[in-house]
Amino acid sequence: NLSDKLNSVFKKLKGHGKLSEKNIDEGLREVRMALLEADAHYRVVKQLIADIRARAIGQEVLESLTPAQQVIKIVNEELTALMGSEKEALNLSGAMPQAVMLVGLQGSGKTTTAGKLAVHLRKNGKKPYLVPLDVYRPAAIDQLKKLGEQLSVPVFDSSPEMDPVEIAQKARQKAPSEGCDTLVLDTAGRLHVDSELMNELSRIQKAIEPSDVLLIADAMTGQDAVNMAESFDQALDLGGIVLTKMDGDARGGAALSIKAVTGKPVKFIGVGEKTNALEEFHPDRMASRILGMGDMLSFIEKAQDAVDEKKAADLEKKLRKNQFTLEDFRDQMTQVRKMGSLNDLIKMIPGANKSKQLNKLDVDERELVRIEAIINSMTPAERRNHNIVNGSRRKRIAKGSGTKVQDVNKLLKNYSQVLKMMKKFNKGGMRAMTRNMMP
């Protein structure tokens, strides 16, 4: 990956002094290749390299960083700036009921994202109303209806005979009686951008005046997504972009260039087919991902904030001796909770994407409280050795913590998976990992 390559380029340059032009150019060649390989827009890459070069040349090598780390830091900062620096939220200003309109080509993930957004809105105290506007494909209406049922989100009963504008207006009138305050408009798509589609979308936009218009773009299509975004933006003046299928082998090129080319921010990324697989887009995290460091930079920052040194050292010792008990697991959860979403954190661990065990590991935030209760209901001996927790003990623990036996089972399974994963990291050297990644 890119950070490995940069490390090897700069390995020779030890200690102090200035970063030389020759050195930097050698490093930047790697950066350029990596970005083009990631399918970033060539114009964007050119500008970026020029900016990084200007900043890097003549810089004093900081005492705390190796030259490679210093260049990585600059590259990381420039990549972040290119993608917009700050996280951009959904625009929900204006009169009730509000509307978020989803547009994009067929198969880009509009309907799936409509469901995901409904979940997101509900989490943020909104009452979403799903509105199918793809009247050309009856199956598309059914798809959204099913999604709504599954999520217990009301879906407007669109009929294929109606005009999309009419449907949207009727849905808006009906929303209050359905207890809804935010429409999610799932529009029709085509295989290619065409004027008929744009006219229809534009009519809907004028009639409804949605507070946000999101282009749903398939990240796997790389530069095509960027070009398509330009066309949609010209016709509709987008509010933002959702890049879907970022869980696949999307190389990040679209994420990197789309803001620079269109001026419109990526607001969310889709990271799977399930309805919870939507994440807010963080430019800094994406930059680290493109650099190939997982989300290590933000992980390190957060870790430094939340975990105090001594506890971290204690933990490392325990990990090395494979003495990571359920009690440590509980404490670790509490620490981690201070740092943000547990699932986010797990993803930041380098290699976690590839780890089947970690992908299977499904930790719901709300479960943390329950997990704590369960572990607190165990005897010290049980916490030290989970292998003795048999059926009758599980029943007792469930009763004591006010949970179900299945909850206890799940916790023990998660714990033993973490244990396995940690043993693996131990072999690879937890310490080496930390040392390599520390900026």
Sheet hosting strand 128-132, strand order edge to edge = 128-132, 182-186, 98-103, 212-218, 240-244, 266-270, 278-280
Instruction: List 155's β-bridge partners, or say none.
Output: 130
User: With binding defined as CB under 6 A, does residue 270 bind ligand GDP?
Assistant: yes
Q: Would the annotation count 98 as a binding residue? A: no
Name the nearest CA neighbour of 140 among 178, 98, 190.
Answer: 190
Q: Which two tokens stand for residue 257?
A: 């260039």
- Closest CB to ligand GDP: residue number: 270
Q: What does the angle CA 94 – CA 99 – CA 105 come to, to the nearest 5 degrees?
A: 135
**Smallest distance, Å, CB 102 to Mg ion?**
9
d(CA 290, CA 33): 12
Stretch that binds ligand GDP, among 72-80, 100-108, 252-260, 346-354 (CB under 6 A): 100-108
403 is in an annotated binding site: no
356 is in an annotated binding site: no
Count of beta carbons in the 10 Å neighbourhood of residue 430: 16
18 marked as binding residue: no
Interface with ligand GDP (CB under 6 A), residue from 132, 154, 164, 189: 189
Is 187 among the annotated ligand-binding positions? yes
The residues, any chain, with a CB within 8 Å of residue 398's CB and separated by 6 or more, are: 374, 404, 405, 407, 408
Residue 108 binds which of ligand GDP, Mg ion, none (CB < 5-8 A, kind-dependent) = ligand GDP
Query: CA 287, CA 78: separation in Å to the nearest integer?
Result: 9
Q: Do the annotations mark residue 108 as ligand-binding? A: yes
Residues numbered 89-148 forming contacts with Mg ion, rule: CB under 5 A: 110-111, 140
Q: Is 247 annotated as a binding residue?
A: yes
CB 252 within 8 A of CB 44: no
Q: Which of 73, 223, 272, 328 binds ligand GDP (CB under 6 A)?
A: 272
Which of 59, 85, 91, 106: binder of ligand GDP (CB under 6 A)?
106
Q: Is 111 in the site for ligand GDP (CB under 6 A)?
A: yes
Task: Give 27 or 128: the residue with its C-beta nearer to ligand GDP.
Answer: 128
Beta carbon of residue 194, minimum distance to Mg ion (angstroms, whole number): 17
Residue 296 is labelled as binding a ligand: no
d(CA 420, CA 384): 16
Q: Which residue's CB is nearer to ligand GDP, number 150 or number 379?
A: 150
Query: What residue 210 binds from ligand GDP, Mg ion, none (CB within 5 to 8 A, per partner kind)?
Result: none
Closest CA to 134 of 164, 108, 161, 156: 164
Q: Which does 271 bind (CB under 5 to 8 A by kind): Mg ion, ligand GDP, none?
A: ligand GDP
Output 28 or 246, the one with its CB closest to ligand GDP: 246
Question: Given candidates 32, 41, 110, 120, which one binds ligand GDP under the rule CB under 6 A?
Answer: 110
Q: What is the chain's length?
A: 439
Q: Does the footprint of ligand GDP cover residue 259 (CB under 6 A)? A: no
Q: Which stretch binds ligand GDP (CB under 6 A): 15-23, 193-201, 241-249, 352-360?
A: 241-249
DSSP string, 305-349: HHS-HHHHHHHHHHHHTT---HHHHHHHHHHHHHHS-HHHHHHHS
Instruction: Pick the binder of ligand GDP from 25, 247, 280, 372 (CB under 6 A).
Output: 247
Q: Is the peptide bond before 138 cis (omega within 30 degrees of 0)?
A: no
Number of residues that bind ligand GDP (CB under 6 A): 19
- Site residues for ligand GDP, 205-224, by CB under 6 A, read 216
Q: Which stretch binds ligand GDP (CB under 6 A): 14-22, 35-43, 67-75, 243-251?
A: 243-251
105 is known to lie in a ligand binding site: yes
CA distance to 178, 195, 218, 279, 362, per residue, from 243 (Å)? 30, 23, 6, 10, 23
Q: What is the DSSP letter of 401?
A: H
What is the phi/psi pair of residue 247, to 5°? -80, -20
- Residue 132 as a binder of ligand GDP (CB under 6 A): the answer is no
User: Is residue 365 within a helix (H) or strand (E), and if so which, with residue range?
Assistant: none
Is 244 a residue that touches Mg ion (CB under 5 A)?
no
CA 361 vs. chain centroid, Å, equals 17
Binding stretches for Mg ion (CB under 5 A):
110-111, 140
- Residue ranges of the annotated binding site for GTP are 104-111, 186-190, 244-247
Residues that bind ligand GDP (CB under 6 A): 104, 106-112, 189, 216, 244-245, 247-248, 270-273, 277
